[in-house]
Structure 1
Amino acid sequence: MASLTIRVLLADDHPAMLRGVEHELSVVSSIQLMGSAHSSTELIAFLNTTPCDVVVSDYAMPAGEYGDGIALFSLIQRRYPSVKLVVLTMLDNPAVLRALVMQGISCIVSKSDAVSHIVPAVHTANSGGKYYSPRVDEIVQSIDWNRRGRGSTDVLSQRESEVVRLFASGLTVNEIADRLCRSKKTISSQKSKAMEKLGIDRDVDLLRYAMENGMVSSSERASNGESDVRLPEGGVPPLP
């Protein structure tokens, strides 16, 4: 008879959050915690060697060989199609959540909700269902899925959105190219196309737009050495 135990891998670069989720899952008899990762590098290494049914992963883990966000989740979906995903995010923003849903990720938990939502999310993901924690459900319900107007992140492709987010998190075009395994020319083109679609001409305005629309959090900028960046009235020098 097949085992009813759900094998779970965790990934989060915030130690306190990781400990909280580990504790929440450890007391559930139907869940077996297989390991914990602090970056996409560790997560992919685990997946290459460790049987797993569900990955519970933070959305924003900028320090890692395989990136984070949509780029990382897309890689997992392609390389490990039998593995289900539960995404944790502090970016409670329609653009981020819309991108996740469009990527086919149907179990999402906001870090602003109780950590107890992780358990039903894992069970639902394993069975192929949909689970949104209350804050996520509230935002998803408010999204106009037919809106694609100028100045909206909805007009951006998933790859363009990921480039904008990584750029706003403090990475250079060269660093983004290395992280996403694309050429510098491709990244520059995707960044320029995103700015054109959004009606933005300056790097500082792209940075401001990403921050104001929840595409990047202050903790992401801090992790890339950009925690003291401010946006004065006159703007700041463009990022390299």
Structure 2
Amino acid sequence: MTAPIRVLVCDDQVLVRTGLVTVIDAQPDLEVAGECGDGRAAVDLAGRLRPDVVVMDVRMPVLDGIEATRLLASAGVLHPVKVLVVTTFNLDEYVYEALRAGASGFLLKDAPPSRLLNGIRTVATGAALLDPGVTRQLVGRYAARIRPAAATPHDHPLTPRELEVLRLIAEGLTNGEIARSLVLSPETVKTFVSRILTKLGLRDRVQAVIYAYRHGLVT
């Protein structure tokens, strides 16, 4: 049998944290490795417990979720972990800063439990996950910050089709939506996405979005 995905839950609101723990622990393929109420404790516990995924709140005492995510996702740590940020905040700087810090996913707390569970499983595989609509809101609101004012198309190793896929990723489309838009199979789109990430040396779709805007590949 495949070992369950080990999850560390970090949220300073006890009732919220308890609810997350209960929902996660009820799944046969997930296991709560630990829980805590601030970012510093999350970093410390992650070093000891070595979870696969940390479910992280943003606004917390001692060390906020953004800085904790930056430490957990750092290439310099002995055991970097995937971070899924779950917060009540949407149209503000937290989305952008969490993703820049290295979060693999971003969900809102009003998302149904099924979306949370899917998010944990998704980021555990190494893929990225954004709450529906968040990508569009992210690039729409922060495009000016992501992309330098004098940005020009960057030299890149992508084929025309891969560039087309990257642009659609940057617009917030899912693999299924990209497949329908380009009349391709989802499997083919998945292959294109994997090639794009490999060629550009990117970790996930989130970095692909930021890359595309930073280098003027989308308008």
Scaled to the shorter chain, the TM-score interval is: 0.5 to 0.7
Residue in 1 that maps onto 2:7: 8
Ranges in structure 2 where 5+ consecutive residues have no aligned partner: 148-219
Residue in 1 that maps onto 2:70: 74
AA aligned to 1:120 is: N
Whole-Å separation in 2 of the counterparts to 1:101 and 1:42: 21
Whole-Å separation in 1 of the counterparts to 2:134 and 2:3: 28
Deviation digits for residues 151-188 of structure 1, max 9, x if unmatched?
xxxxxxxxxxxxxxxxxxxxxxxxxxxxxxxxxxxxxx
Whole-Å separation in 2 of the counterparts to 1:77 and 1:52: 13
Aligned match of 2:110 in 92, 109, 112? Answer: 112
Secondary structure of the residue aligned to 1:140 is helix
Pairwise CA RMSD: 2.4
CA shift for structure 1 position 44: 2.6
Residue in 2 that maps onto 1:54: 53
Residue in 2 that maps onto 1:145: 143
Deviation digits for residues 203-225 of structure 1, max 9, x if unmatched?
xxxxxxxxxxxxxxxxxxxxxxx
Contact 1:56 1:85 survives alignment (8 Å) = yes
Ranges in structure 1 where 5+ consecutive residues have no aligned partner: 150-240
Aligned length in residues: 145
Give TM-score scaled by structure 1 length: 0.54
Show the 5 A alignment for 1:82-231.
82-134=80-132, 136-137=134-135, 139-140=137-138, 142-147=140-145
Secondary structure of the residue aligned to 1:143 is helix
Whole-Å separation in 1 of the counterparts to 2:31 and 2:91: 31
CA shift for structure 1 position 137: 4.5
CA shift for structure 1 position 145: 1.8
Whole-Å separation in 1 of the counterparts to 2:113 and 2:133: 12
Deviation digits for residues 87-124 of structure 1, max 9, x if unmatched?
01112124221222223323111113223321111111
Contact 1:12 1:37 survives alignment (8 Å) = yes
**CA distance 1:145–1:124, shift in 2 (3 Å):** same
Secondary structure of the residue aligned to 1:139 is helix
Whole-Å separation in 1 of the counterparts to 2:145 and 2:39: 33
What percentage of aligned pairs have identical amino acids? 23
Secondary structure of the residue aligned to 1:85 is strand
CA shift for structure 1 position 6: 0.7
AA aligned to 1:114 is: P
Deviation digits for residues 47-106 of structure 1, max 9, x if unmatched?
2321311111111112x2xx1132211111222553110001112124221222223323
